[in-house]
Structure 1
Amino acid sequence: MVYRHGVSTSERDTSVKSPVQSLSAVTVAVGTAPVHLVQDAPVNKPVLAMTWDEAVEKLGYSENYTNFTLCEVMDTHFNLYTVSPVVFINVLDPDKHKTDVTDQSITVQNKKAVIDQEGVLLDSLIVKTTPGGSELEENTDYTAVYDENGKVVISAVANGAITDSTTELVVSYSYLDASKVTEADIIGGYDAETGKSTGLELINAVFPMFRVVPGILIAPKFSKKTTVSAVMRAKVKNINGIFKAKAYIDIDTSVANVYSKVPDYKNQNSLIDEFATVFWGDIKFGDKIYNFSSHAAAVTAQTDENNGGIPYVSPSNKSLKMDALVVNGEEVALGQDQAAYLNANGIVTALNFIGGWKLWGNRTSAYPDKTDVKDVFIPVRRMFNWVENTLILSFWANVDDPTNNRLIDQFIDSSNVWMNGLAAEGATLGGRVEFRREENPDTDLLNGKVKLHVFMAPPTPAEDIEFIVEFDVSYLSGLFA
């Protein structure tokens, strides 16, 4: 023992821990990106981006959203709704999803020629002046670069083989072909031999890589396939074996092309799940067409951000950046009663009624088959996910600590302080954590198992507001005042 003479101090860690809150609406988007535009194309590798420039630098960008679905996620999140971060998982593989073109003739003007094909892989390009001629040498006879539209521009190099009299070039190349991406590519899986995961399976890599918990899983365009949406719904319930998220799923409007058909489509394809929200219609903004899930995920994140990062406010009746709701290329104008019919069947859509275009619908796809309040309202379900994820993050450091009074007190005191704070902000109507004797039998405690019981009541959205209006005859007396 150190000999002491005088006054000294020491410190102990605060017994009440501040919660390590999980970001409530981190979007994880699985799809296709124009990775031919970047070095070291990220294929089946999660990419975290905080800004538009970072996303474009890592994944490339094209306004061909049909082929490159992750680009619409960049646009909605970073440009239209200004929310971040976003995790992108690109499955479009230049080694696998490509088409070969041989001896294509292109016109030369002013010693330049453009290949009118997006996605050309530069390392596959062969340039000749005639079909049977010799291959020209890059940087000696020509240079090849992408223009602002993603097309390859071939330019003559001084004193090279392309001269003023050259009117035509013959090119062979491979181009990145997004049409070859299948449902199986999006679903992905785990390869036991290589130890690598692909597609939706990579949602389990997000937290270990970036220390952010997925909040919303989307696969724009591809989630319209029921095989893909089924896997999405399964994945969000058990991320890394502990975390929970929400799946935002687009309904296939080529089948459910009229609003009245959508409930039958939902039921026939078993799109009934408290961890999923389904959306009907595509969104048109300017000259661009987006999948609804891209906008919905972004406006959900924006709503959370406007409320302190806590997901207790519904994204319903929040403004969407859009000009029209589109179904199979045709604009659709739903009335409030038609939109309510969809909502009554657990389907979310867009409504242009009062205050411009709004996301319209509070219910998860479990409704009306399920009635438990924690499973049928989007914000309530998301609050349960968020609170559970936050508790895991906050107390993970206590795993394997001695089960004694100090540990139990820390659980209860820290959790209740946090719960009281949520109630004070209006994020819950109230909440508490208890350590109950009947839930912790001696056999469990001897086996290292401890259970804490969390009670909470997130506010439900005021979905149906009614004013009762009555003629009060007593006011007639005012005529004689």
Structure 2
Amino acid sequence: MAYKHGVYTSEVATSMVAPITGTAGLQVIVGTAPVNMLKDPAAAVNVPLLVSSYKEAVEAVGYLPDFANYTLCECISANFSVVGIAPMVLINVLDPAKHKIAITGGTVQVNDGVAVLEETGVLLEGLTVKSGSTTLTAGTDYTTTWNDDGTLNIVVLSTGAGKEATSLTVTGNKIDPSKVTAADIVGGVDSSTGKETGLEVVRQVYPKLSMTPGILLAPRFSKDATVAAALQAKTKSINSVFGAVCVVDIDSSNTGATKYTAVKTTKEAQAVSDPNAYAVWPFAKVGNTVYSGSALAAALTAYTDAQNDDTPNVSPSNKTIAVSAACLEDGTEVVLDQEQANTVNSFGVATWLNMNGFRLWGNNTAAYPGISDPKDRWFSVRRFLTWAANTFILTYFQKVDSPANKRLIEAIVDSENVRGNGFVARGVCARYEITFNEDENTTADLLDGKITFHQYITPFTPAEDIEDIIEFDPNALSAALN
């Protein structure tokens, strides 16, 4: 040890534990995408892909503006082009090895060295291109490029075997998104390989990406009762510890609710009634482009969080969004006034209201009106409590297996209460306090390595009903004249 003479300082780690959080409104979206446009389509099937920009999203799953068939593209557009929020996790279930059909192909004309195959979804693997009886080799005799509409250019190389060709014969396969079913979205686990598909892949989000899911959705597919049930079930005990919410489309097709008065029965037929579910009816248009209600509502919810310090205490209801009209799934416009929109809200369903610009309208979870407990009725309250629980787990996981002594207990209580005081000061909560009560921690529990804290969290409920009582004061007339 060196000889010391003088004044010295050193530092120790801060006793307060810094909270560790993921993005509060991280969207995890299960759906379909034109993965045939990728270099390795199979690598983008049933895996969680984190994207933070439009470019990253297109590179991850491909992109076509055909939202009825490619629901992940719908969310890419809703998040990056309409709302402006990132990141999100995409899970594509469209499997080129499973969801495919033969292309009509046939003979295509070569003009200026390029033959345009007027089909979308073409799979390059297994594609056969012939000039007469000669089979051309990709990269040697021709190359391919994609057009914006998803059709394929076959560019004949001047040094290849087909350089003199005036027409080509093309055969092969293309992806068929119509073959993707509700069962593919729900997914499962292969008993022999352990491979997870569909919503089961949600389990991989935290282990792979170190981010906790905030909002689960499967746009358009969620109108199916089986998918809606799976989404609601999956919000609980993710990785056995985390929670989330889901956003569900109430069916607005010609077999669902085409009028606002039919929303209640349609919601009940879909069995959407969980406190962790936020139901939306109907779809909406941006210009002539139709988006599902769930895609827009989820994006707006994540955006609202981001605007409020990544804290999910503010309701997305009454927040404006750049849509042109509410509409049914087929694009038929729906015009609701406030009274009709409120009726939809009374069913536990959010909708779109044009009040000096379109806005999402509805604070209730799908549990309403069956459940009126404020922690399960209000969407913003439910989300905050779930987020607070996830944050507690992530923050204090590092304390697991530490000695269960007074220092550990005080560190957790002090850290959490300092954080809670910040929420109260900011007007996020009326109360956010944690205590360690001796009567909840028996000697038997302590001997078993278990310590229990009691937390009181009271986020403010939304000011849904504001009333002004107006009274005519006749005395003011005489007072004004004297």
TM-score of the superposition, structure 1-length normalised? Answer: 0.95
Q: Distance in 2 between matches of 1:103 and 1:211?
A: 45
Q: CA deviation at 1:30?
A: 0.6
- The AA in structure 2 aligned to 1:317 is N
1:189 aligns with: 188
Q: Distance in 2 between matches of 1:422 and 1:48?
A: 29
- The AA in structure 2 aligned to 1:98 is K
Q: CA deviation at 1:164?
A: 6.5
1:137 aligns with: 137
Q: Distance in 2 between matches of 1:180 and 1:420?
A: 53
Q: Secondary structure at the match of 1:80?
A: helix
Deviation per CA, 1:146-183: give whole Å up to 9, x if none.
222221112333265556672x4321110011111111
**Are residues 1:340 and 2:351 paired?**
no
In the alignment, is the contact (CA less than 8 A) between 1:22 and 1:386 conserved in 2? no
Q: Secondary structure at the match of 2:336?
A: coil
Q: Secondary structure at the match of 1:382?
A: helix
- Once the two structures are superposed, the pairs formed by residues 20-169 of structure 1 within 5 Å of their partners are 20-41=20-41, 42-101=44-103, 104-130=106-132, 133-158=133-158, 160=160, 162=162, 166=166, 168-169=167-168
Call closer, same or farther: CA 1:112–1:241 in 2, change over 3 Å.
same
Q: Distance in 1 between matches of 2:352 and 2:337?
A: 10
Q: Distance in 1 between matches of 2:440 and 2:165?
A: 88
Q: CA deviation at 1:361?
A: 0.3
- The AA in structure 2 aligned to 1:341 is T
- The AA in structure 1 aligned to 2:184 is D
Q: Distance in 2 between matches of 1:286 and 1:384?
A: 37
**Are residues 1:326 and 2:327 paired?**
yes
Call closer, same or farther: CA 1:165–1:3 in 2, change over 3 Å.
closer
Q: Secondary structure at the match of 2:248?
A: strand
In the alignment, is the contact (CA less than 8 A) between 1:32 and 1:91 conserved in 2? yes
- Once the two structures are superposed, the pairs formed by residues 80-479 of structure 1 within 5 Å of their partners are 80-101=82-103, 104-130=106-132, 133-158=133-158, 160=160, 162=162, 166=166, 168-254=167-253, 255-327=256-328, 328-352=330-354, 354-479=355-480
Q: CA deviation at 1:186?
A: 0.9
Q: CA deviation at 1:320?
A: 1.5
In the alignment, is the contact (CA less than 8 A) between 1:18 and 1:418 conserved in 2? no
Q: Secondary structure at the match of 2:170?
A: strand
Q: CA deviation at 1:225?
A: 0.9
In the alignment, is the contact (CA less than 8 A) between 2:275 and 2:376 conserved in 1? yes
In the alignment, is the contact (CA less than 8 A) between 1:110 and 1:164 conserved in 2? no
Q: Secondary structure at the match of 2:172?
A: strand
Q: Higher mean Cα deviation, 121-130 or 356-365?
A: 121-130
- The AA in structure 2 aligned to 1:126 is T
- The AA in structure 1 aligned to 2:240 is G
In the alignment, is the contact (CA less than 8 A) between 2:413 and 2:435 conserved in 1? yes
Q: Distance in 2 between matches of 1:138 and 1:269?
A: 48
Call closer, same or farther: CA 1:102–1:351 in 2, change over 3 Å.
closer
TM-score of the superposition, structure 2-length normalised? Answer: 0.95
Q: Distance in 1 between matches of 2:71 and 2:106?
A: 28
Q: CA deviation at 1:112?
A: 2.6
What are structure 1's unaligned runs of at least 5 residues?
A: none
In the alignment, is the contact (CA less than 8 A) between 2:223 and 2:270 conserved in 1? no
Q: Secondary structure at the match of 2:305?
A: helix
In the alignment, is the contact (CA less than 8 A) between 1:20 and 1:394 conserved in 2? yes
Q: CA deviation at 1:283?
A: 1.3
Call closer, same or farther: CA 1:140–1:413 in 2, change over 3 Å.
closer
- The AA in structure 2 aligned to 1:72 is E
Q: Distance in 2 between matches of 1:143 and 1:480?
A: 91
- The AA in structure 1 aligned to 2:395 is S
Call closer, same or farther: CA 1:17–1:111 in 2, change over 3 Å.
closer
In the alignment, is the contact (CA less than 8 A) between 2:212 and 2:242 conserved in 1? yes
Call closer, same or farther: CA 1:451–1:172 in 2, change over 3 Å.
same
Deviation per CA, 1:186-213: give whole Å up to 9, x if none.
1111224212211101111111111111
Q: Distance in 1 between matches of 2:163 and 2:134?
A: 15
Call closer, same or farther: CA 1:39–1:164 in 2, change over 3 Å.
closer
Q: Secondary structure at the match of 1:124?
A: coil
Q: CA deviation at 1:390?
A: 0.8
What are structure 2's unaligned runs of at least 5 residues?
A: none
Q: Secondary structure at the match of 1:457?
A: strand
Percent identity (aligned) = 43
Q: CA deviation at 1:137?
A: 3.4
Q: Distance in 2 between matches of 1:158 and 1:303?
A: 55
Q: Secondary structure at the match of 1:113?
A: strand
Deviation per CA, 1:385-434: give whole Å up to 9, x if none.
11111111110000111111101111111111000001111111122101
Q: Distance in 2 between matches of 1:184 and 1:147?
A: 32
